[in-house]
Amino acid sequence: MPPAPASQNSKIAAYIAALPPDKKLRVVFGGHWSDNPDWLLLKETDQDITKPLDFADNSVDVIFTEHVFEHVGFCEAAAFLHQAYRILKPGGVFRLVCPMLDSVLSADLSDPLGHAYVKTSLIPYYQREEILLDKILGLGGIAAAPFDFYINSMFRQHGHLFIWSADLVIRVMQALGYVTAQKKAIGEGINPDYCIERRRRGLYMGSDWREEMASKDIFDLESTIVEATK
């Protein structure tokens, strides 16, 4: 594969040009929920991850993506992993956060936080079903069978196209040449500064991202994290 040319994307090129020599190039693909400093935040309109990434080979220190990977098909996601490997520097880190079967199938919706998740993250997407189960059939609404609707929401709502398992992500990464590909817990990784994922996905807790990043109170039914190096 011939070396990729310097970026033709004005946002990417301007960021790289202004980056001090002592700063790492850390890139978030697919946008982000926070305004973390020292990261280049690229929305889909800035960089389509199903297309070749507009970075030179061996030019990026850290790649992070959160709840983006599941929105593209399997082949496109695998191609993105390949492109990410191309642009990472040797020893560079890729941190991938998304719903994976590991977390989805082990979720517990029976405690108060689980009940809140049903209210805030399921009922808004299944309002007709809630009325049918509650008002018409008298079965108590979606809360009578929350796991059924939770599983369906992972595959049918939010524009999800493919839900991976961590094992499959790791095996594909290893086949592409990544090393130390491992499943990680929220907030756990090679470098704490790279662990910028949400702690409380699916629930609005009224805190800003800085408070959330400092919090040890983790509630995320959906996400699994895989981190790898080149």
For 150-198, how does the pLDDT look when each residue is reduced to its tens digit (9 = 90+)? 999 999 889 999 999 999 999 999 999 999 999 999 999 999 999 999 9
The arrangement of strands across the sheet holding 40-42 comes to: 40-42, 26-29, 60-66, 88-99, 223-229, 179-184
User: Structure pTM?
Assistant: 0.92
pLDDT of residue 96: 98
d(CA 79, CA 157): 24
Q: List the domain boundaries for the chain.
A: 10-100+164-229, 106-156
What is the distance in angstroms between the CA of the first residue and the CA of the last residue of the chain?
Answer: 17
Instruction: Give the SS3 label for residue 52.
Output: coil
Q: Which residues of the chain, if any, have pLDDT below 70?
A: 1-8
pLDDT of residue 2: 43
Given the candidates 3.40.50, 2.20.28, 3.30.70, 3.30.420, the CATH classification of the domain at 10-100+164-229 is 3.40.50
Closest C-alpha to 183, from 164, 202, 200: 164
d(CA 120, CA 16): 39
Helix and strand tally (H, E) in the chain? 8, 6
pLDDT of residue 3: 47
